[in-house]
Amino acid sequence: FIQRFAPLFLLGFLAAACSPKVTTPDPVTSFPFELPDTRPDRPLSRAMERNYTAYPAPRPEENELFSQFRYTKLEGFDYNNGDGTISRRDPSKVIFANGKYYVWYTYRNTPTPPKGADASTETIPSSDWDLSEIWYATSKDGFTWEEQGVAVARPPKPQVGWRSVTTCDILEWKGKYYLYYQGFMEASGKRGDDCPVAVSYADSPDGPWTPANQVVIPNGPEGAWDQYSIHDPYPLVHDGKIYIYYKSDFGGANKTLVRMQGLATADDPLGPFTKHPLNPVINSGHETTLFPWREGIAALVIKDGNEHFTIQYAEDGVNFDIKSIVKLMPTAAGPYLPDAFTDTKDGRGITWGISHITNATTWSQNHAVLLRFDCDLSQDVHDPEMKKHNT
Ligand code: AAL
């Protein structure tokens, strides 16, 4: 056998030894990797050209900021049999304090489900987020939650938020806690959505919360991109400052909304906040969800706009690039984010959080339910073995 096939083995060995070495970077092991430009030397269609120039990799799943999302029903919340009278939506990010996880969210408990702006009264909500308060819940494991009750109630008229306080997010700064939220002065659907951001503060995540009774991020001047609304405030600590990303929308007056994300920064949680001169910094997305990633900031760009369902990254927190295109993103995601306020230069990413889902059969979105999402947007799951498993 050996005598008969020896010449063939020899030929094979010589061919292998003399052939030019092709070294393809291993996408599994070389994060953060750079793919070789493999464009052939011939004209390409516009779509193929764009595949090499507009995106970081021809296969988005090869980027470390790619993930699939898994969802789990939460235990512990009562929804009145889902009749639309109790709603929970727009969760904050999740923090860990006093040995448990905390989440804050928009809570509505009204005699009827939403009936649209024209049918709304002092007690009948126009939309799912009308006549709401900010409530909170705690959990030992992130799956079963104990609802603790109200954190920020609606203040008396005419204070900011008298009609509804919604869509909050949490900041921890120098040992104190700050909840930022939308303060409605009119029912949603009657231009109440053109609301600014207000803030309440507390010494403990359990409260009591003191409203600052002031607008902390005001609407932009007439003609500005954010003149109509300042929504979904999302605080992080970055470069020694408080960074609040928020959503606004061009064209609010004629209801052709084009939703985008802006940034305002401050040295003090009660302001003044300075809006970034390059705003809007993300051209798409609905609710804001961002997280420290390596030395910069990553964003889940969810739902609206040309770049919806992408995950983006900006080393400076301002100039974002698409890193991956994903599916089934968590709506209004509030991730568990241990390094949200540590001013990290090496953001580790996220693996789970709370999002919401709505039964959007009507404009006003009858009611919403909180649910848990899990994902692999974490540096710690990108070791070669884990990565093989995840892809
Ligand atoms: C959301 C958020 C804001 C909007 C409405 C309630 O999911 O973008 O909070 O105002 O919808």
Measured in whole angstroms, how far is the alpha carbon of residue 389 from the centre of its chain?
25
Distance from Cα 111 to the centre of ligand 1, integer Å: 21
Of 7, 220, 231, 201, which is closest to residue 106 (Cα–Cα)? 231
Q: Tell me how far apart the terminal alpha carbons of the chain are, to the nearest angstrom.
A: 43
| H or E stretch at 48 | helix 46-53
pLDDT of residue 10: 56
Distance from Cα 198 to the centre of ligand 1, integer Å: 15
Q: Give dist(CA 134, CA 107) in Å, integer.
A: 6
pLDDT of residue 23: 44
CB 212 within 8 A of CB 105: no
The residue length of the chain stands at 391
Distance from Cα 62 to the centre of ligand 1, integer Å: 32
The β-bridge relationship of strands 347-358 and 368-378 is: antiparallel
Of 51, 98, 94, which is closest to residue 74 (Cα–Cα)? 94
Query: How would you write the pLDDT of the chain (391 residues) with one tens digit per residue?
Result: 456 655 555 555 555 554 444 444 444 334 445 566 778 889 999 998 888 777 776 677 778 899 999 999 999 999 988 889 999 999 999 999 999 999 999 999 999 999 999 999 999 999 999 999 999 999 999 999 999 999 999 999 999 999 999 999 999 999 999 999 999 999 998 888 888 899 999 999 999 999 998 899 999 999 899 998 999 999 999 999 999 999 998 876 666 778 999 999 999 999 999 999 999 999 999 999 999 999 999 999 998 999 999 999 999 999 999 999 999 999 999 999 999 999 999 999 999 999 999 986 665 668 999 999 999 999 887 555 444 444 3
Q: Give dist(CA 354, CA 92) in Å, integer.
A: 8
CB 272 within 8 A of CB 302: no
Which residues have a Cβ under 8 Å from the Cβ of 7 and sit 6 or more positions away? none
- Ligand 1 atom closest to the Cα of residue 166 is 9
- Ligand 1 atom closest to the Cα of residue 332 is 7
Atom 6 in ligand 1: residue holding the nearest Cα: 129
Calculate the alpha carbon distances from 42 to 38, 47, 48, 54, 234 in Å.
12, 14, 11, 19, 46
128, 169, 287: which to mutate for ligand 1, most atoms within 8 A of CB? 287
Q: Give dist(CA 83, CA 202) in Å, integer.
A: 34
Distance from Cα 109 to the centre of ligand 1, integer Å: 17
Of 171, 151, 110, 139, which is closest to residue 340 (Cα–Cα)? 171
Q: What is the ipTM of this complex?
A: 0.97
Q: Tell me the CB-side half-sphere exposure of residue 46, using CA atoms within 13 A.
A: 0
89, 90, 229, 369: which to mutate for ligand 1, most atoms within 8 A of CB? 90
Distance from Cα 332 to the centre of ligand 1, integer Å: 8
| H or E stretch at 15 | helix 2-18
Instruction: Copy the structure tokens of residue 358.
Output: 């709505």
pLDDT of residue 389: 43
Atom 9 in ligand 1: residue holding the nearest Cα: 167
| H or E stretch at 17 | helix 2-18
Distance from Cα 21 to the centre of ligand 1, integer Å: 55
**Can you list the positions of beta strands (E) in 153-272?**
164-173, 176-184, 197-202, 210-217, 231-238, 241-250, 258-266
